[in-house]
Amino acid sequence: MKASAPGKIILFGEHAVVYNRPALAVPVTQVKVDVEVTDSESAGIHIHAPIINLHAELNTLPPDHAIGSVVLKVFSAFGISNPPPLKINITSTIPAAAGLGSGAAVSAALIRALALHLAYPLTNEQVNDMVFEIEKLHHGTPSGIDNTVITFSKPVYFVKGQPIETFKVGKPFTIVIGDTGVAAPTKESVGDVRKLWLEDQNKFEVLFNEIGKISQTARDSIESGQPEQLGGLMDQNHALLQQLTVSSNELDNLVTAARDAGALGAKLSGGGRGGNMIALVKKEKAESVSNALLSAGAKRTIVTEIK
């Protein structure tokens, strides 16, 4: 059985969302994880994930292994103590540690493919809860936005702990995603922001409030079909993320290059420190902004239409 899950970008509100402010995220279907589970002729659970050079039998992996632990969790959730021999093949076009949700997408696709193969039907809500449990193991204090947008593969307006809200896109708009190529685990930037918040809660609560207001305004602009207003909001959000210390020279450099090439606005997206930035562009400018990002050092770009 096969299942897949897309990548994602956070449009507005990363980090502040961990502190209960709203954030907006959309799936990026140009990149995805595919998982295929088949019966195996040889005993055991054989996992193949060429992207991370993993070819191993489940029992040889440490119990907290990023992929092995998902498989164990699924067996335990289904009450399977003696799993049948299986072959699990994982392929991905989502770059790892780049803010595009590769970890959550592997978990979501893997859980779905195993559930289908083992004939344990799961609702999206159940998949989402399981992916969130796994995100907590690897990311410390995740808000839950990544697993939600990836599991449901829909635009989401997300507030931690509240029922999932999707939002309507009044008029489509184009985003160019630029990858710094710098691997930056979300856990570290989220942990660093937490330390800073603990040291000066007044200052950081003000910054989170500002970011939360931007997410709210952005949702109104998107729903009312005025996406051009998002440019200025992205620039403001990026400046606030710089104050949270989660930008980097590489991200700032790409953000500036996008703006200089005619983007309407730009910001880092996701955990920051490395990974990806996003720029709002008029459709006809997508190629020139993308080329400008590549000339400024982006390792790759993706153009995506939000609709």
| Least separation in angstroms between CB 145 and ligand MEV | 5
Q: How far apart are CA 100 and CA 94, in angstroms?
A: 7
Is position 142 an interface residue for ligand MEV (rule: CB under 6 A)?
yes
**Is 146 an interacting residue with respect to ligand MEV (CB under 6 A)?**
yes
| Position 18 contacts ligand MEV (CB under 6 A) | yes
CB proximity list for 238: less than 8 A, separation 6 or greater: 247, 255, 266, 267, 268
Question: Residue 14 corresponds to which tokens in the numbers above?
Answer: 């990363």
179 flagged as catalytic: no
Asked if residue 186 binds ligand MEV (CB under 6 A), the reply is yes
Q: Is 105 in the site for ligand MEV (CB under 6 A)?
A: no
**CB closer to ligand MEV, 185 vs 232:** 185
Under the criterion CB under 6 A, does residue 7 sit at the interface with ligand MEV? no
Q: In this chain, which of 128, 143, 151, 174 binds ligand MEV, going by CB under 6 A?
A: 143
- State which of residues 17, 113, 176, 277 lies at the interface with ligand MEV (CB under 6 A): 17
User: Whole-number minimum distance, CB 101 to ligand MEV, in Å?
Assistant: 6
**Single residue of 15, 73, 273, 285 touching ligand MEV by CB under 6 A:** 15
Catalytic center residues: 146
Residues that bind ligand MEV (CB under 6 A): 10, 14-15, 17-18, 99, 142-143, 145-146, 186, 190, 270-271
